[in-house]
Amino acid sequence: MLCDEATSALDPQTTGSILELLRDINQTLGLTILLITHEMEVVKSICHRVSLISDGELVEEADVGDFFTAPGTQLGREFLNDFLQLEPPKGLVERLEAEPGEHTHPVVRLAFSGDAVSTPLISRLARDCEVDVSILQAKVESIQERTLG
Residue 120 has pLDDT above 80, yes or no: yes
Q: What type of residue sits at position 126?
A: A
Which residue would you say has higher pLDDT here, 101 or 130?
A: 130
- C-alpha distances (whole Å) from 83 to each of 3, 65, 120 are 21, 14, 25
Residue 93: what are its φ and ψ, rounded to 5°?
A: -60, -40
- Higher pLDDT: 146 or 12? It is 12
Q: CA-CA distance, 73 to 23, in Å (whole number)?
A: 28
pTM summary value? 0.69
